[in-house]
């Protein structure tokens, strides 16, 4: 029997005012696995990611059709609340974006406060910072401004902030592209640890990074999902010629 | 028309590696042909040339290894490029061993050519012809990425083994008939054994060609039955 997919998209298409950005994407992500999404600029990989937590529709005129099922619940169903969706599906962006006026601690618990949680915030903050592999570095200065941290630490703080609301799925849009190699390695290590608890979808331009961190890799080209397969297969023996050409550096 | 790599320097590096491998393969083919003739035509000058040619083969082995390491370290090759480079790394060892075997055969030729000739053994000629044909076919399979040819090579090795066994028995009987033949016949036995080993290295090349093209590793079927059945089922 096939394990139940944590995320599945059914004929997912996405549109901007200027036209279609994703064409009928059907894809499954297993629970507690890492899916890397690769493809040349403009292939729709970030749009795909942003459809998963209904952030795509925040762009004026943008909309999506088809289904995105998280644990079999369609996030685009009429009764579905985008705010609740984004709580279940956390997101980390390319550039670290901690709230600049807030302390480290307040950044972590900001999501909880927005959700009206009042109690046991400090325990949750510690847990999230531990999971984001940042606790040991900040435990003595939790009330220092978030902006006093290095870029890599700020990115891990953003991950802690995303984890604090206990999402099921974590989306990462080029989470290490603004970081130096050591900070990148720490994020990659962290992704492997988070995989024990969360389902992760990561968009990356860096194919070697996709190869290092993911279990599955999806290759997008011109809004279409060309191939989704175990990462090892994509990088040693892909099924599709377009995937082969992309991963060997023949276009993109 | 297959696409070229966007990075032209990378494209050139891969092409150079391929050309070096072909050049090495060509040199091994020449060495084998010469060492066989040095025995069958009793030509020690050819045997000498085989020994000289070995240096070039060894030099190419090191160059190819170097080029592969450089590509792996600097280019992070993927998919068919990765399979090509790992194949190159493996078949270069087989080619170098074939070069050594050619030298071993040439050395036996020196011994044999200093002694009076033995009666002809048609199976030795057959074995030598087949070994050379197998090698040629395996190298063609590599050049043309031709899986079918590579599979023919793998099948052809069984015939090579059969001829070898038959020849071995013939030589054994010949030794028993007259002990004065033993030294020279033993030399021929070594030649036969080297040709049989040559066939094994040729088969390795063919297996790697199949891996390079298809991405499936068919080696050691008896030790990996379950795994190969899984691959087969997809």
What is the full DSSP assignment across A181-198?
Answer: HHHHHHHHHHHHHHTTT-
Show the DSSP H helices in A74-168 as ranges.
82-88, 104-114, 121-131, 135-138, 151-164
pLDDT of residue B225: 82
Contact A236 B79 (CB under 8 A): yes
Report the 10 Å Cβ neighbour count for B158: 11
Q: Where are the domains of chain A?
A: 7-97+169-247
Burial of A191-200, coded b for 16+ CB within 10 Å and e otherwise, reads beebbeebbb
Contact A236 B6 (CB under 8 A): no
Cα nearest neighbour of B6 on chain A: A250
Cα nearest neighbour of B79 on chain A: A236
Which H or E element spans position B150?
A: helix B147-177
| Token pair belonging to B126 | 């057959």
Residues in chain B closer than 8 A to A249 (CB atoms): 5-7, 10, 78
- Each residue's pLDDT expressed in tens, for chain A with a length of 252 residues: 466 899 999 999 999 999 999 999 999 999 999 999 999 999 999 999 999 999 999 999 999 999 999 998 999 999 999 989 999 999 999 999 999 999 999 999 998 888 777 766 889 999 999 999 999 999 999 999 999 999 999 999 999 999 999 999 999 999 999 889 998 998 999 999 999 999 999 999 999 999 999 999 999 999 999 999 999 999 999 999 999 999 999 986
Architecture, CATH, for domain B8-233: Up-down Bundle (1.20)
Contact B78 A207 (CB under 8 A): yes
Q: Where are the domains of chain B?
A: 8-233
pLDDT of residue A3: 66
Q: What is the pLDDT of residues B6-44, one digit of tens each?
A: 999 999 999 999 999 999 999 999 999 999 999 999 999
Place of tokens 């011994």: B111
Taking only residues 23 to 82 of chain B, the set having a beta carbon closer than 8 angstroms to any beta carbon of chain A reads 76-82
Distance CA A229, CA A243 (A): 11
Contact B83 A236 (CB under 8 A): yes
Cα nearest neighbour of B9 on chain A: A249
Distance CA B90, CA B112 (A): 34
Which H or E element spans position A251?
A: none
Residue B214: band (very low, low, confident or very high) from pLDDT cuts 50, 70, 90: very high
Report the 10 Å Cβ neighbour count for A222: 14
Residues in chain B closer than 8 A to A238 (CB atoms): 79
Contact B78 A248 (CB under 8 A): yes
Q: How far is CA B55 from CA B48, B49, B91, in A?
A: 12, 11, 18
**Quick one: how far is CA B158 from the chain centroid?**
15
| Token pair belonging to B112 | 């044999």
Architecture, CATH, for domain A7-97+169-247: 3-Layer(aba) Sandwich (3.40)
Cα nearest neighbour of A212 on chain B: B76
* Helix B122-144 / helix B147-177 crossing angle, nearest 10 deg: 160
Q: What is the pLDDT of residues B107-133, one digit of tens each?
A: 999 999 999 999 999 999 999 999 999
Q: Which residues pair with A224 in a beta bridge?
A: A221
Contact A237 B79 (CB under 8 A): yes
Between strands A89-92 and A169-173, the pairing is parallel
| Token pair belonging to A52 | 């998963």
Distance CA A170, CA A195 (A): 10
Contact A236 B82 (CB under 8 A): yes
């Amino acid at each position: 029997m096939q394990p139940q997919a944590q995320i599945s998209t059914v004929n997912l298409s996405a549109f901007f005012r200027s036209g279609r950005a994703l064409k009928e994407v059907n894809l499954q992500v297993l629970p507690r696995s890492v899916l890397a999404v690769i493809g040349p600029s403009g292939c729709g990989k970030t749009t795909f990611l942003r459809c998963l937590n209904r952030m795509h529709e925040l762009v004026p005129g943008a909309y999506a059709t088809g289904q995105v099922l998280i644990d079999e619940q369609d996030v685009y169903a009429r009764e579905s609340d985008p705010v609740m969706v984004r709580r279940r599906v956390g997101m980390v962006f390319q550039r670290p974006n901690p709230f600049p006026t807030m302390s480290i601690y307040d950044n972590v618990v900001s999501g909880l406060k927005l959700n009206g949680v009042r109690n046991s915030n400090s325990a949750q903050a510690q847990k999230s910072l531990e999971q984001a592999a940042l606790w040991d570095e900040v435990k003595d200065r939790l009330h220092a401004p978030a902006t006093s941290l290095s870029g890599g630490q700020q990115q891990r703080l953003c991950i802690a902030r995303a984890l604090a609301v206990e999402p099921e799925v974590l989306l990462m849009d080029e989470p290490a592209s603004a970081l130096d190699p050591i900070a990148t390695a720490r994020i990659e290590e962290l992704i492997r640890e988070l995989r024990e608890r969360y389902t992760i979808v990561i968009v990356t331009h860096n194919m070697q990074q996709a190869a290092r961190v993911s279990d599955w890799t999806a290759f997008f080209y011109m809004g279409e999902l060309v191939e989704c397969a175990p990462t090892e297969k994509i990088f040693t023996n892909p099924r599709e010629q377009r995937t082969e050409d992309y991963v060997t550096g023949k276009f993109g | 028309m297959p696409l070229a790599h966007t990075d032209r320097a990378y494209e050139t590096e891969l092409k150079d590696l391929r050309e070096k491998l072909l050049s090495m393969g060509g040199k091994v083919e020449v060495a084998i042909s010469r060492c066989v003739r040095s025995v069958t035509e009793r030509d020690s000058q050819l045997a000498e040339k085989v020994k000289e040619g070995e240096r070039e083969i060894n030099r190419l082995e090191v160059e190819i290894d170097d080029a592969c390491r450089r590509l792996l370290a600097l280019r992070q090759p993927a998919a068919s490029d990765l399979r090509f480079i790992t194949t190159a790394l493996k078949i270069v060892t087989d080619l170098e061993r074939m070069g050594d075997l050619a030298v071993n055969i040439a050395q036996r030729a020196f011994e044999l050519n200093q002694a009076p000739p033995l009666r002809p053994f048609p199976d030795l000629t057959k074995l030598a012809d087949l070994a050379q044909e197998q090698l040629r076919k395996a190298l063609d399979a590599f050049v043309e990425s031709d899986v079918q040819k590579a599979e023919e090579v793998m099948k052809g090795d069984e015939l090579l083994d059969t001829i070898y066994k038959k020849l071995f028995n013939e030589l054994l009987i010949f030794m028993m008939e007259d002990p004065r033949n033993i030294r020279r016949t033993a030399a021929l036995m070594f030649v036969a054994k080297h040709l049989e080993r040559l066939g094994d290295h040729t088969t390795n090349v063919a297996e790697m060609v199949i891996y390079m093209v298809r991405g499936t590793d068919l080696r050691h079927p008896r030790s990996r039955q379950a795994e190969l059945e899984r691959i087969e089922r997809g």
